[in-house]
A = this chain, B = another copy of it.
Amino acid sequence: MRRGFYIGRFQPYHNGHQAVLEGIADEVDEIIIGVGSAQLSHDTQNPFTAGERVLMITRALETIDCPFYVIPIEDIRRNALWVSHVTSMSPPFEICYTSNPLVIQLFREANIRVKSPPMYQRESLSGTAIRQRILDGEPWEDYVPAPVVDVISEIEGVQRLRTIAETD
Closest CB-CB distance, A104 to chain B, in whole Å? 7
Within 8 A of B (CB), among A53-110: 54-55, 58, 69-72, 74, 76-81, 83-85, 87-92, 99-102, 104-106, 109
User: What are the residues of chain B within 8 A of A168 when measuring CB–CB?
Assistant: 99-101
Q: Once the chains bind, are A88 and B41 in contact (CB under 8 Å)?
A: yes
Contact of A52 among B50, B55, B91 (CB under 8 A): B91
CA distance A109 to B157 in the complex (A): 11
**Are A164 and B41 neighbours in the complex by a CB distance under 8 Å?**
no
Interface bracket on A? 35 or more
Could you say which residues of chain B place their CB within 8 Å of the CB of A81?
76, 81, 84-85, 88
Which residues in B have their C-beta under 8 angstroms from that of A54? 69, 71, 89-91
Residues of B within 8 A of A80 (CB): 41-42, 49, 84-85, 87-88
Out of B41, B51, B72, B165, name the residue touching A79 (CB < 8 Å): B41
Q: Tell me whether A89 and B38 are in contact (CB under 8 A).
A: yes
Contact check, A55 vs B91: say whether CB atoms are below 8 A apart.
yes
Contact B163 A79 (CB under 8 A): no
A selection of 16 A-B contacts at a CB cut-off of 8 Å is A38-B89, A39-B77, A42-B79, A42-B80, A51-B89, A72-B72, A72-B89, A74-B74, A76-B81, A78-B85, A81-B84, A81-B88, A92-B155, A105-B160, A105-B163, A105-B164
